Amino acid sequence: MRRGWAEDGGILEIHVNNLGQPIEETCSRLASNLGVLARNGHLAPLTYLDWRHVPDIGKDAIWTHIKENTNATDQMRKFMITSVGRKWKEWKAEVKRQGYTKYMTNEERLKHCPPWVEESQWPRLIYYWDSDKGKAKSEKKKPFVKLDNTTHIW
């Protein structure tokens, strides 16, 4: 991961509102960098069923990286880690669309590991998504599709 999240390669100055949420022009740069962290399979492996199950050691390393590259305070940790968790979940769904749903057989799926996915994790993801438990979880979520930031029922 690169150091220095600001445009000049330095520390990204984050300004927050009274709720501790980032505001102003730094939001998109911050969001982009948090997305990069969420896609790091060493820090946040996709093989966990839920962000809450990702080990604290990974979340602590993510927080350390955020602190090294921004002026984030300890009061912002929960917001930042939660934001990375949302991006992790979105990334996992995108990985499933790119490499699992798109192909009909596990043999094809194994050949098409999406970029940025740890190759060692890919077979485990396929195995889970192909399992009865994985399919049942997917079916539960199927009636809801997110379009234009709103939830719609099929």
Token readout for 80 is: 């930042």
- Confidence label for 2 from pLDDT (cuts 50, 70 and 90): low
The verdict on residue 134 lying in a domain is yes
Query: Is 39 part of a structural domain of the chain?
Result: yes
Residue 1 lies in a domain: no
Q: How far is CA 1 from the centre of its chain?
A: 15
Residue 132: inside a domain: yes
Find the domain containing 67 and state its range.
15-153
pLDDT tens digits for 56-70?
Answer: 999 999 999 999 999
Residue 7 included in any domain: no
Q: Indicate whether this model's pTM tops 0.75.
A: yes
* Side chain identity at residue 80, one-letter code: M
Q: Concatenated DSSP letters for 112-127?
A: -PPTTS-TTTHHHHHH
CB-CB contact of 19 with 78 (8 Å): no
Q: Please, which pLDDT band fits residue 141 given cuts at 50, 70 and 90? A: low
In a domain, 2, yes or no: no
The total of structural domains in the chain comes to 1
Does residue 47 sit within a domain?
Answer: yes
Residue 70: which of 44, 42, 32, 19 has the closest Cα? 32
CA–CA gap between residue 72 and residue 106 (Å, rounded)? 43
Are 30 and 22 contacting, i.e. CB atoms less than 8 angstroms apart? yes
- List b or e across 65-85, with b for residues whose CB sees 16 or more CB atoms inside 10 angstroms: bbbebbebeeebbeebbebbb
Whether residue 106 lies inside any domain: the answer is yes
77-126 tens-digit pLDDT: 999 999 999 999 999 999 999 999 999 999 999 999 998 999 999 999 99
